[in-house]
Amino acid sequence: MGAMRPRIGITCGYRPGEPVNGYETALLAVDARFCDVVFDGGGEPLLIPPAAREADLLPILRTLSGVILTGGPDVPPERYGAKPHPETRLLHPRRVAVDFAAARFADEQELAVLAICCGIQEWNVHRGGTLHQHLPDLQCSPQIKHREGNTFSHHPVRVDEKSLLFSIIKTVSLPVNSSHHQGLDRLGANLRATGWAADGLIEAVEDPRRPFCLGVQWHPEDMPGDPLQEKIFRAVVAAASRIQPGGTVSRPR
């Protein structure tokens, strides 16, 4: 038998009361391409459901070697000591509870972590950081569009040459897509900024103490066929392959 694929947990949205065939049915929501890129990278994707009780999550989390925190609406501002902005659109409370439980478990067990868009914001808040709640309110020069209605905007990201991200993509200027109106403000504990937009907004962070802990503000899963974005997913799967389920790091004898 071949080596087991590392299992990567993927957070997903919770939508209560969606009408399906005349019935009001609560739905889970996640971009299927997350599963595709994990499979393509050699991993085994597993959705982390927004369980009603955190205790129900533990048997799932203990099977994981890595976690992907995916995109979505906005983190509740009370989690970082702020009042809601008029443009803030909150994640469902069940998803908030599960995402932060998954982040906490991944930190405690040192799982491989890739945090994407809202996920990088959750990761920063989980570590005690804060957010800009509405980027158009900031007086930045040059002005960068980080979201254009319901479509992606596009801009380059400057990458720190002494970073995990650079070691993966081997370039200091990375074209990315963009669909967010919030962004990182004060960084959380032990997070280091490693990528920036031209307006100075932080676009990538990492925890250099960890083998793989990377957050990106864009959506690499929505850039199919881009070899640099595909490398990011292959890298998190490769890192997870060196971690036993539940967080025991495999070390050479």
Would the pLDDT of 101 be above 50?
A: yes
Q: Quick check: is 122 catalytic?
A: no
CATH among 3.40.50.2300, 3.30.479.30, 3.40.50.880, 3.30.70.20 for 7-249: 3.40.50.880
Count the Cβ atoms, other than its own, within 10 Å of residue 244: 13
Q: Quick check: is 219 catalytic?
A: yes
Per-residue confidence at 16, pLDDT binned at 50, 70, 90? Answer: confident
Using one digit for the tens of pLDDT, what is the confidence trace for 162-218?
A: 999 999 999 999 999 999 999 999 999 999 999 999 999 999 999 999 999 999 999
What does the domain layout of the chain look like in residue ranges? Answer: 7-249
Query: How high is the pLDDT of residue 213?
Result: 98
Q: Among the options 126, 132, 155, 219, which is catalytic?
A: 219
Q: Quick check: is 181 catalytic?
A: no
Would the pLDDT of 3 be above 90?
A: no
Q: Among the options 35, 117, 118, 213, which is catalytic?
A: 117
Q: Among the options 122, 203, 206, 221, which is catalytic?
A: 221
